[in-house]
Chains A and B, each alone.
Chain A
Amino acid sequence: MHHHNHYYGQAHILARYAGLDDQYPPRLRGYLQHGWNIADGWNPVHEFYDGAWRFTWSDAPRRRGHALGRRNYHSIGAPFLYLLDLEPELGAVPEEEREGTLWFLFHGWEGGKIQGDHKKLIDEIRETEDGPVTFSLYYTEYDRPEVRKSYEDAGFRVVSFGRRGFSYEGTDPRFLYKQLAELRKHKRVAANRLSTAIFYGIAAGCEAAVYGDPMEMEGENPLFGGQRRIERLWPEMLGKELDPEAAKATTDLELGVPWMMPPEELRMVFDWRERV
């Protein structure tokens, strides 16, 4: 129903899980959360059509959304979790062969670019990480030569998983597949902000770390409390060495492992009966 549902190929993954065409996923009757955040899963000024249903990854966004006067939530678990089920082998290497750190720079989006001291961040990463570092940039940064080059010059391998697309155009439906494959090769996942990628990394079996300059994003709306609130709510997710058990427990909750459902139920929840 909304083009955001196609971001990162999430609707495609869910369609595949539900046994439907994942090249052209059916319309989804509502809005699908496309990234982790500290609010109800959407940006503070996101508009919804009247009576829209909102499909969140877990229950916390539902509760926060309820407090915003929004209703009609149903938590379903993050599509990335379904991808883990669908692709148990993708990119997998023997555990002892996993090496290095896949480092995610807090990314901007089409409407706001990040500003920060990349040099300082590189120094800190070098100090912290023992093994090779692969640096993942969203295309908004990847396509900025001055940003990309600063990481390449530091000796990091720089990757980008593609575009999430806009208005159903340009979405790389393999975005999360590529991300999963990279994560499974790496021993660690790290980022300068607690973000979706950290949760994905932990779900894919990585050790995790969150450190470094969190950087600023143009037009960032601090309505929900920003970094300070993250520090209060998820201290176990911040630092250079996280307690794996605590991090995994939080990850399962935030990605909504308990809210996952069988394919048939998903089809009912999305009103995904094939129409001929």
Chain B
Amino acid sequence: MSDNQLAVEVVRGEMQPWSDYSGKRGAAQGPVLRALLTDVLPDAARTLILGPHAADLVEAVIAKAAETTVLVRSVSDAGELTEQFGDKLQVVAGALDGLVDDSRPRYDVVVAADGLDRVIGYDSDDLNWQQRLDALAAVASPEAVLVLGVENEFSLTNLLDRRPADQRHGDDEWRPLHEDPTRPVSVEQLTSSLERVGRTGAVAYASFAVKETPLTLVSADVAAAARPGQLPARLAVEALEASAAVVPLLAPVAEGAESAARAGLLASTPSGWIAVAGAAAKHAIYAQTPGAEAVLTADAEGDGWSVTVAGGGAETAGDLKFDAEAVPATVPGGVTAETLLLRLAAAEDVPGFRDLAARLGDWARSQTSSQVLLRWDDVVVDGDGFAFGVSAWATVGEETEKDRLAAAWARFHERLIGAHRRHPWPPWMVGDDLVSAWLAMSGIESIKQTPAAGPDTPSASVAEVARGKELAAALNVALGIPADASQTPDVRTALAEADEARKENFELKGQIFGLERTLGFRDKALKTRETRIREMRTQVQKANAERTKLKNSRAYSAVKLIRKAAQIRNPRKFAGKVKRRVKRQLKNKLG
């Protein structure tokens, strides 16, 4: 293809054939970024979108800007954007250094939410990150609003990525972008870099993303102060857990995120950061509500959070529906019930667990007007009581108290056992029996177990918790957790499962040994009894023989005669009777 066949404007450094939109990586996108841009971009400004940004973000920029230009390095991407947006968008294909050399008027706003890794081509000079920032600053006016993203090399997902570094990135790693020593790897380095190019007062958001889609943005200050189980940490962990579906991990990311939050390092370990310079941030938190296109924003208010949910229709996913109205306007700032339950389980404090489960049951029963599906990871401790968190997933139909609670316990079971967390319950109880036991702890009358006719006879708990498990599974589907998530575990989980299988084998061998020993004891007891029975039988036979011998003896006959004689009460009458009988017998004999 020759230049005169190109339908888009081109500056030096364009790439063809190439796509930053449909290759291994996609463009920066998503409702969270869109909400942020809508909040921070000024009206009627001359705006440059730098690098690959998806149509939703381009639309958001166009909606605010007086004039929008987008620079993408791929000619085909540029062509498609032109086709898509027509004259609302000026599309330039080429590299950032080429744009700098093109001596255009500087822009009032530069949106580089995708970062500076995909703004130069293979024909560009080898500009390091700081030099690319210089180039960005060169096309922006001194007072320009900048929205700049950067991937975090120290992110938890990066640290836990089980692939070697050379297998993590796409074909655009013709130079090792991620090993660039000038690249900022902390909030402080990022804001210092911006200050170096004259952009002071920038605020940074910790971005927790799945690929190029940030799911949660938490202002760096808020993230640094967040502790496990609190709203910012919860939203961050939820986003990181979603990223586990696309990044093969060495270990569960949630555990690392919670440790980071305990250390005050949540802002240091996100997937990346979005810095905003030249404009005031509006909200402390932006988060995509899992499973829906709605965006939740939250700001500190007193000890808790004021929350709004925008967008998202009345989506229905099987048994559940997304109901933004169900999200309370304020959410307490405390930790979740799940955080406490996990701590109690780890401490093997069953009485404490039982007490908390009872209180949760009482609370759940008092929420008669709510159809929000119970999940202990989104029920927040509120003083002595509890409150719903930010989940908007409610049941479509009326569910019984038992089924709603069973759903919460089934989900908790999945998160406790699935994550190989410490707990005190024996392995044979894990599963529906354990959910049933927790259900009973939260005030649902215990189910009566039925006798097992065979090794595979299901326990009565299976039927008892079946509906709850369905609801919990429906929530997973609604939240976008892949059904086969358990089949692609992280390395630690896979090793733990292998260990678990070995341990089970070891314990079953132990149990067989124990049973054999018990049988041995029982055999011994039977032998003792058999010996005793034999001894008694011999004694009985001996006694019988002696009795027979005694019966046949003259002494016995004499005793018998004497005994009979002793029974004679009237000897005269007896003698008369004997006399008569003898006479009769003689008479008969003699004729």
Chain A contacts for B574, CB-based, 8 A: none
- Using known A-B contacts A51-B511, A262-B446, determine if residue A269 contacts B522 with beta carbons closer than 8 Å: no
Question: Does any Cβ of B come within 8 Å of A67's Cβ?
Answer: no
**Residue in A closest to B425 when the chains form the complex, CB atoms:** A74
Chain B contacts for A127, CB-based, 8 A: none
CA distance A53 to B426 in the complex (A): 8
Min CB–CB distance A158 → chain B (angstroms): 30
**Residue in A closest to B424 when the chains form the complex, CB atoms:** A74
The answer to whether B426 touches A265, judged by C-beta atoms less than 8 angstroms apart, is no
Min CB–CB distance A84 → chain B (angstroms): 18
The answer to whether B440 touches A1, judged by C-beta atoms less than 8 angstroms apart, is no
| Interface residue ranges of B415-469 to A (CB < 8 Å) | 424-426, 428-429, 433-434, 436-437, 440, 446-449, 451-453, 459
- Using known A-B contacts A2-B514, A29-B511, determine if residue A265 contacts B428 with beta carbons closer than 8 Å: no
The answer to whether A75 touches B350, judged by C-beta atoms less than 8 angstroms apart, is yes
**Residue in B closest to A264 when the chains form the complex, CB atoms:** B446
The answer to whether A167 touches B510, judged by C-beta atoms less than 8 angstroms apart, is no
The answer to whether A262 touches B440, judged by C-beta atoms less than 8 angstroms apart, is yes
**Residue in B closest to A169 when the chains form the complex, CB atoms:** B525
| Interface residue ranges of A21-63 to B (CB < 8 Å) | 27, 29-30, 49-53, 59, 62
The answer to whether B525 touches A167, judged by C-beta atoms less than 8 angstroms apart, is yes
Min CB–CB distance B505 → chain A (angstroms): 9
The answer to whether A269 touches B426, judged by C-beta atoms less than 8 angstroms apart, is yes
**Residue in A closest to B351 when the chains form the complex, CB atoms:** A258
The answer to whether B525 touches A268, judged by C-beta atoms less than 8 angstroms apart, is no
Question: Does any Cβ of B come within 8 Å of A233's Cβ?
Answer: no
- Using known A-B contacts A168-B522, A259-B350, determine if residue A265 contacts B510 with beta carbons closer than 8 Å: no
Question: Does any Cβ of A come within 8 Å of B513's Cβ?
Answer: yes
The answer to whether A51 touches B506, judged by C-beta atoms less than 8 angstroms apart, is yes
CA distance A229 to B453 in the complex (A): 50
Of B440, B508, B510, the residue contacting A264 (CB under 8 A) is B440
Question: Does any Cβ of B come within 8 Å of A273's Cβ?
Answer: yes
Chain A contacts for B437, CB-based, 8 A: 264-265, 268
Of A59, A72, A167, A261, the residue contacting B521 (CB under 8 A) is A167
Tally of contact residues, A, Cβ under 8 A: 35
| Interface residue ranges of B495-531 to A (CB < 8 Å) | 503, 506-511, 513-515, 517-518, 521-522, 524-525, 528
Min CB–CB distance A146 → chain B (angstroms): 30
Question: Does any Cβ of A come within 8 Å of B349's Cβ?
Answer: yes
CA distance A78 to B446 in the complex (A): 22
| Interface residue ranges of A66-103 to B (CB < 8 Å) | 72-75
| Interface residue ranges of A241-276 to B (CB < 8 Å) | 258-259, 261-265, 267-269, 271, 273-276
- Using known A-B contacts A53-B426, A273-B459, determine if residue A168 contacts B452 with beta carbons closer than 8 Å: no
- Using known A-B contacts A50-B510, A264-B447, A276-B453, determine if residue A3 contacts B521 with beta carbons closer than 8 Å: yes
Chain B contacts for A74, CB-based, 8 A: 350, 424-426
Question: Does any Cβ of A come within 8 Å of B401's Cβ?
Answer: no
Question: Does any Cβ of A come within 8 Å of B348's Cβ?
Answer: yes
**Residue in B closest to A75 when the chains form the complex, CB atoms:** B350
Of A75, A264, A265, the residue contacting B448 (CB under 8 A) is A264
- Using known A-B contacts A3-B518, A50-B506, determine if residue A275 contacts B429 with beta carbons closer than 8 Å: no
The answer to whether B433 touches A268, judged by C-beta atoms less than 8 angstroms apart, is yes
| Interface residue ranges of A1-15 to B (CB < 8 Å) | 1-3
The answer to whether B522 touches A169, judged by C-beta atoms less than 8 angstroms apart, is no
Chain A contacts for B509, CB-based, 8 A: 50-51
**Residue in A closest to B512 when the chains form the complex, CB atoms:** A49
Of A49, A62, A267, A274, the residue contacting B510 (CB under 8 A) is A49
- Using known A-B contacts A3-B518, A168-B521, determine if residue A276 contacts B451 with beta carbons closer than 8 Å: yes
Chain B contacts for A262, CB-based, 8 A: 440, 446
**Residue in B closest to A31 when the chains form the complex, CB atoms:** B514
Min CB–CB distance A165 → chain B (angstroms): 10
Of B429, B447, B517, the residue contacting A49 (CB under 8 A) is B517
Chain A contacts for B522, CB-based, 8 A: 168
The answer to whether B446 touches A72, judged by C-beta atoms less than 8 angstroms apart, is no
Chain B contacts for A276, CB-based, 8 A: 451-453
**Residue in A closest to B446 when the chains form the complex, CB atoms:** A264
- Using known A-B contacts A275-B451, A276-B453, determine if residue A51 contacts B503 with beta carbons closer than 8 Å: yes
| Interface residue ranges of A110-138 to B (CB < 8 Å) | none
The answer to whether A274 touches B452, judged by C-beta atoms less than 8 angstroms apart, is yes
CA distance A50 to B518 in the complex (A): 14
CA distance A117 to B492 in the complex (A): 61
Min CB–CB distance B266 → chain A (angstroms): 32
CA distance A50 to B433 in the complex (A): 24
Min CB–CB distance A172 → chain B (angstroms): 16
The answer to whether A51 touches B426, judged by C-beta atoms less than 8 angstroms apart, is no
Chain B contacts for A52, CB-based, 8 A: 510, 514
CA distance A60 to B349 in the complex (A): 11
Chain A contacts for B447, CB-based, 8 A: 264
The answer to whether A265 touches B440, judged by C-beta atoms less than 8 angstroms apart, is yes
Min CB–CB distance B388 → chain A (angstroms): 28
- Using known A-B contacts A74-B425, A265-B446, determine if residue A27 contacts B518 with beta carbons closer than 8 Å: yes
**Residue in B closest to A66 when the chains form the complex, CB atoms:** B348
**Residue in B closest to A30 when the chains form the complex, CB atoms:** B426
Chain B contacts for A169, CB-based, 8 A: 525, 528
Q: List 30 A-B contacts (CB under 8 A).
A: A1-B515, A2-B517, A2-B518, A27-B518, A30-B426, A49-B510, A49-B511, A49-B513, A51-B503, A51-B506, A59-B348, A62-B348, A74-B424, A74-B426, A75-B350, A167-B525, A168-B525, A258-B351, A264-B437, A264-B447, A265-B446, A268-B433, A268-B436, A268-B449, A271-B429, A273-B449, A273-B459, A274-B452, A275-B451, A276-B453
Enumerate the 6 nearest inter-chain pairs by beta-carbon distance, A residue then B residue, closest first: A51-B507, A50-B510, A258-B351, A264-B446, A274-B451, A49-B514
Interface residues of B (CB under 8 A from A): 348-351, 354, 424-426, 428-429, 433-434, 436-437, 440, 446-449, 451-453, 459, 503, 506-511, 513-515, 517-518, 521-522, 524-525, 528
Interface residues of A (CB under 8 A from B): 1-3, 27, 29-30, 49-53, 59, 62, 72-75, 167-169, 258-259, 261-265, 267-269, 271, 273-276
New contact pairs (8) apart from A50-B506, A73-B348, CB-CB < 8 Å: A27-B518, A30-B426, A49-B510, A167-B525, A264-B447, A265-B440, A268-B429, A276-B451
